[in-house]
Every structure is written in structure tokens, then in C-alpha cells.
Amino acid sequence: MAGEAQDDCLFCKIVGGHIPATIVRETETTVAFRDINPQAPTHVLVIPRVHYANAADLAAAEPAIAADVLREAKAVADDEKLDSHRVIFNTGAGAGQTVFHAHAHVLGGRGMHWPPG
């Protein structure tokens, strides 16, 4: 069920402490950790503690928690002292989503090009 931890979800296992991650921030509603395959010098994922397949589902069901994810993305950028950064939500396999637990990528520390590709 949406909102509840999923036994087969990598990010739910990180939230539950069953899989290690390099955690950089935690709140009551979010966890932020370094991506294991970074695409920029700074690449941190910010995830809600509740399970929703993607950002669109999270925003529809839990708008306050979706806002928390965005606030934490800014806090990560501030903590990392990024002059500029990109926040990305991939929604669906066709957009590059590989873990189906809502998450924001915070990327920075290098120039970003447009279109992102």
C-alpha cells in the first residue's frame, strides 16, 4: 500500500536501517544520503520516509511531505555550500527512474547543461 514501507524497496531498506548509506541529513519525514553512482561532485538523494512510487504520487497524497523533500534539497545544497545546483525528480522508467520510491537528486559542484539529456 502506498505510504507504507515496501519489503522489496531499496530506499525503504535504507530508511529502515537495513542497508547502509552515507546519510548527510535526517528529519522526521526525510532522509538524505550520497548517491552510490554520483553524476556530479555533489550528488545527494533526498527521500521521504514514507513510500510512494514517484514524486507525483507523493505530492498528490502527502503534499506537506513533498514540500519537506524540497526544503531538505535546499538544506543539502546549503550544507554542501553549492553556489548553484539542480534538483531532479525522475518519474517513470522512461524518465530514468530506476528506484520506484519518490526521491529528489541534488546535483552540484560542476556546470550543468541544458537540455539535461
35-87 pLDDT, tens digit each: 999 999 999 999 999 999 999 999 999 999 999 999 999 999 999 999 999 99
How many residues would you count in the chain?
117
The contacts found for 60-68 with CB under 8 angstroms, 24 or more apart, are 61/2, 61/3, 62/3, 65/29, 65/30, 66/102, 68/27, 68/29, 68/30
Query: For residue 85, with 0-12 CB atoms within 10 Å meaning exposed, 13-18 middle and 19 or more buried, which class applies?
Result: buried
pTM higher than 0.85? yes
Contact (CB, 8 A) for 88 and 107: yes
| pLDDT the model gives residue 1 | 58
pLDDT of residue 16: 96
Report residue 117's pLDDT band, with 50, 70 and 90 as the boundaries. low
113 given a catalytic annotation:
no
Q: Which of 51, 101, 103, 105 is catalytic?
A: 103
